[in-house]
Amino acid sequence: MRILRGLLLVVVFLVVVVVVAAGADWFRAEQIIGARVQLPAMVFDATAGDAARGAHFAKGVLGCTDCHGQNLAGGPFMTDATVAIMDAPNLTKGAGGVGERYSDGDFERAIRHGVRPDGSKLMIMPSTAYQYLSDQDLRDVIAFVRSSPPIANATKVRRIGPFGHLLVSIGALPFPADHVDQTAGHPGVQPPAVDVTYGRYLAHVGGCYLCHGLNLAGGHYEGSPQDPSAANITPAAIGSWTLADFKQTIKTGRDPSGHELNPFMPWRSVAKMSDDEFNALYAFLRSVPPVASAQK
């Protein structure tokens, strides 16, 4: 009986430890989720934006339509209740959309800073990449969003599940606003050119660094453990690729060896880049230091 009583006490102790730890993780996650980001009023004027160029940039470089849909009306993005139930917002002026009430400054706050007008933090929104956007490119993108036809679509309110709370608490499901330099300045214009400088800019705002890592050597980026590892895109891995090989890989989703790119790679969006953008990005990737693959 003493042995059984001792085992029972051990079990009870372990259960208490697990419950307390889970409660601490939940509380920590709720603090992170509920924290507000205090930013000054965003004064931004996108009236001089070029909607046609913004459409190309939003679809082919930034991948906005990958999440918000080709009509920008949003819809289901995450549907696993244990992690999160989350819709991409409706960006149009239709019922349920933010387009009617968002000012240009509100759009800038969301895109560059990952923050809603009320200071709450957006999740998944790749503001850690978009923070590098030039003012003119951002004007063009906002002009494109504003030119989109209004679509009625009431998206769901975000609900983060128990596993999602755990991922938030350990930093595996981050809020971009927590990783953006909220005080940094932005270039007025980033002149398009077929060179390394513009290729680096495209790599930044296009999110290459988010998935492939700061050294572009791939591996598992900061995100959900369920997400696939990214490939090494330094010369150590793709140094033998010609420009034609690079374009073929992005445009077809199949590399020169015949390997199909993981569907997680948004190659269908990147395939919309212009030839000059492809050439600039290729020139940049050829210029970075070769690094041995980080993925296993």
Average pLDDT, the chain: 89
More confident residue, 4 or 264: 264
Q: Rounded to two decimals, what is the model's pTM?
A: 0.88
User: At which residue do the structure tokens 């009509």 appear?
Assistant: 71
Lowest mean pLDDT segment, chosen from 169-173, 183-187, 280-284: 169-173
Express each pLDDT in 121-145 by its tens digit: 999 899 999 999 999 999 999 999 9
Give pLDDT, residue 13: 41
Give pLDDT, residue 15: 45
- For the segment 265-284, the average pLDDT, to the nearest whole number, is 96
Give pLDDT, residue 58: 97
Say how far apart CA 86 and CA 192 lie, in whole Å. Answer: 35
Express each pLDDT in 21-34 by its tens digit: 456 666 687 888 88
Say how far apart CA 134 and CA 193 lie, in whole Å. Answer: 14
- For the segment 3-20, the average pLDDT, to the nearest whole number, is 50
pLDDT above 50: residue 18: no
Say how far apart CA 203 and CA 195 lie, in whole Å. Answer: 12
